[in-house]
Structure 1
Amino acid sequence: MSLKKYSLWLCPTTGSEPHHRLNSAISQFSSILGSPRFAPHLTLHSPVYAESGVDVLEQVRDYVEQLGQKLGDNVRANGIPIGIRDVTTGAHFYQCVLLHAPFSDILLKANAIAREKWNTAKDPKPFYPHVSLIYGDFDQDKKEKLAKQIRDSLPANIREDLSFTAKQVRVVSTAGPFEEWRDIGSVSIASGEITFIKHDH
């Protein structure tokens, strides 16, 4: 069986204020631009290769157990905090306009533990914590204008209103073009409980 590619996402809790505000911004601008629509998230680690959704979720449950052992009860009880800073632009399709989420000690360690587990510690691609708002290929002027529009549409106090704590590690199949991405499920950071999303083919 061939291996499939997955990514690990940290997302705000559905129904929370950060989720609502981020989801609204992504939805609004993807509609205006005709660009991809996606769930608000910070990519904790990618890629993870596994034979199936069930297999990858088992791997992630093992990873979450390591998080608890290495980062302690505070992370197990409360989750992984994501501090949002400001709207900025990036150089890639999947980092077109985004929210900068500076390194925190917990986030760096969680990424390092993932790199160690999935043997990507020597991957030269640096970990760049961010929450994307727009996917697309636009020139820099257009990106700057979009970043200003988004900044104006978000709360004045971005740090306070958009920062969030991820309570689970979400697993997304990210093989192929964006249209083929699929949410596979999640693993609770507190309990290690797996939620599996079955997709009809």
Structure 2
Amino acid sequence: MDIAYGYGERSLMTRIREYSIWILPPEPVFDRLAQIITQISKQYSTPSFEPHVTLLGNLSLLEQEVSSKTQQLANFLKPFTLHLTTAGLLNEYFRSLFINIEKTEELMEAHQKARTLFRSGREPEFFPHLSLMYGNFSREIKEKIIAEIGKDFQIRFEVKDMYVTLCSSNIALKDWRRLAQFTFQTVKEN
């Protein structure tokens, strides 16, 4: 969705687009997962994309409003650990093949705080995952891929920031892009 209000230069400031808030794994985890995504993409002619966890998606707002609320969220959050567990598959385009993520108290609290800040009550239940492949493929093909890449990941990494990303299921994948990074302002208590 890309709706402009007004005319000329001013319309750029008042354009409503769809955004998501992403968590990205740090290096070297990012590179390892990006290689898996790229390998699958080449082998099965699927879209390639950055490895990410969507904390909250399909936010139809002005970019300034998304940035302001994401900064508020970052100010509230403390660094926490994400635990990627096992491969999974669904019969859904954007969740075709993925790695499940443990629903820790910190992750669920971050998601709930984001929903509250953005007044996002329309989304389905939060299903934390990191996609490896987008597309409509048979269960057999996805099981074959899991057999090749392995089912058990058991990857842990610390989350200290998040990104506002121009992306949604209504925006062409080639146009998805990170716009701004927001670092959590509070420190983890020992």
Fold-level similarity (TM above 0.5): yes
Q: Work out whether 1:88 is the aligned partner of 2:97.
A: no
Partner of 1:131: 130
Equivalent residue in structure 1 for 2:185, among 172, 175, 190: 190
Mapped partners of 2:60, 2:184: distance in 1 = 21
Q: Can you give the 5+ residue segments of structure 2 that lack an aligned partner in the other structure?
A: 1-13
> SS at the partner of 2:94?
helix
Q: Which has the higher helix share?
A: 1
Q: Which has the higher strand share?
A: 2
Partner of 1:8: 21
The answer (yes or no) to whether the contact 1:35–1:136 under 8 Å persists in 2 is yes
Deviation at 1:124, TM superposition (A): 5.2
Deviation at 1:108, TM superposition (A): 0.5
Partner of 2:29: 18
Tell me: CA distance 1:149–1:168, structure 2 relative to 1, closer, same or farther (3 Å).
Answer: same
Deviation at 1:37, TM superposition (A): 1.0
Q: Give deviations 1:111-133, integer Å, cap 9, x for gaps.
A: 0001111111x325110000111
> SS at the partner of 1:81?
strand
> SS at the partner of 2:126?
coil
The residue type equivalent to 1:151 in the other structure is: G
Q: Work out whether 1:166 is the aligned partner of 2:163.
A: no
Mapped partners of 2:30, 2:167: distance in 1 = 21
The answer (yes or no) to whether the contact 1:87–1:100 under 8 Å persists in 2 is yes
Q: Work out whether 1:64 is the aligned partner of 2:60.
A: no
The answer (yes or no) to whether the contact 2:76–2:185 under 8 Å persists in 1 is no
Q: Give deviations 1:80-130, integer Å, cap 9, x for gaps.
A: 31101111112211111110102000000000001111111x325110000
- Matched residue pairs, number? 171
Partner of 1:32: 43
Q: Give deviations 1:19-57, integer Å, cap 9, x for gaps.
A: 2211111111112122111111111111223223x4422
Pairwise CA RMSD: 1.8
Partner of 1:108: 108
TM-score by length of 2: 0.82
Mapped partners of 2:91, 2:104: distance in 1 = 23
Q: Can you give the 5+ residue segments of structure 1 that lack an aligned partner in the other structure?
A: 68-74, 192-201
Deviation at 1:170, TM superposition (A): 1.0
TM-score by length of 1: 0.78
